[in-house]
A and B are shown apart, each in its own frame.
Chain A
Amino acid sequence: MEIHFESEKPIYLQIAEQLEEAILSGAFPEETQIPSTTEISITFKINPATALKGINLLVDADIIYKKRGLGMFVKAGAKNRILEQHKQAFYQTYIVTLLSEAKTLKISKAKLLDMIERGYEYESPDSERSRNGI
């Protein structure tokens, strides 16, 4: 996990996203405890209130829950819920940005669709020409 202090993204959002990534990767399995606000604040040298704000975002999203007197735990089914959210965010995060950059570079719609096709062809894991294909 790493926090980018120069990023446009607020730190509490970065904390929430990185915890989600850790849950997706299996580093924090469902029904296990995640690091405390204090641990997160010390590790990243951030204000504990900022760490708490990030954690609360995940509580609201039904990803983690509080066990009284014990700490925060990953909820059962959290992994699937995160995947669903990421799919929903995919359009906004990638497609919108992609189209705006394509516009700047004057790449036509046909050319763009062609590139996506090519991506599917060449970037498949068993393709030898992977990453070289132009």
Chain B
Amino acid sequence: MSVLQVTGLTVEFGQRGGAKLRAVEDLSCTLRAGQTLALVGESGSGKSTVVRALAQLQKRAAGQILLDGQPAAGRGRALRAYRHRVQLIFQDPFASLNPMHTVRHHLARPLLLRDGHPRGPALDGAVHDLLRSVNLTPPGEVAAKHPHELSGGQRQRVAIARALATGPDVLLADEPVSMLDVSIRLEILNLLDRLKRDRNLAMLYVTHDLATARHFSAEIMVMYRGQIVEHGPADEVILRPAHPYTQVLASAAPDPAMSRQALADARRQRQAARAARTAELRESALGQGCRFRTRCPHAMPVCQTSPPDAPAGPGHRALCWLYDPAARAGAA
């Protein structure tokens, strides 16, 4: 059951001096009802641009977005209807709520704007239902508050309730917990997970945290410099990463299970590997070819040309020459 189907999404930004910056290149993915797809990558890799393009806050240079099989409209009434069905949760709940308005206002607005919800007690009831659905109780008390009276976690719950107010089918969560205190992050992620199941939402979870990406999603896409370099089932991507970039990413995450000796050994290995790649190489211009090749421990001559989207396992693909049968045969 696909809800949102994206093919060949490309986003470009104009730059001074002519050449366009391609922030997202040829991204295809499918968001399915009741499932979470995680999008991971380092800062600047284009994750948020993907979210903005899917929410149609950002024009795309190429590509198609199908919502329930229908091409997403780019303007007018149809665009509004699209946005009602595809809602966003932003990273910073200190910035995404209006400090001048009460919680009630934040939740009543989308209800009124969507379908002219009746005012009066019915509206209050709907607002209270939304607050209850995100565990903000007692709803009457919370509704009267302003954002500054709430903690970060409570604010993010309000932002989630607001996203639910239009009855969306798709939720795009852009780093929904990275601004929150560590002890409350999992509570918010658990809430999103429960809402996804209860309401059969299709969710895109954008994060730089591999551990929560694995635990809260069915599939993971790894983004590097605007391209999806790996896409597959969550456990496969994290535990058996195929693309060298994902491997680097996974090995960089802290692992408290390692012994002191193992840590020191791993560190020495990394330092030796880094010393082998000169600073000059790391900063060289990319041109054509694999974007990761300057940092890649497996770089081969063929990496000067654009890598293929090759199968790396069941439902698991990597944008890498290592998985191209012909190139492998050639190298052997």
The reply to whether chain A is a binding partner of chain B is no
| Chain A residues proximal to chain B, CB less than 8 Å | none
| Chain B residues proximal to chain A, CB less than 8 Å | none
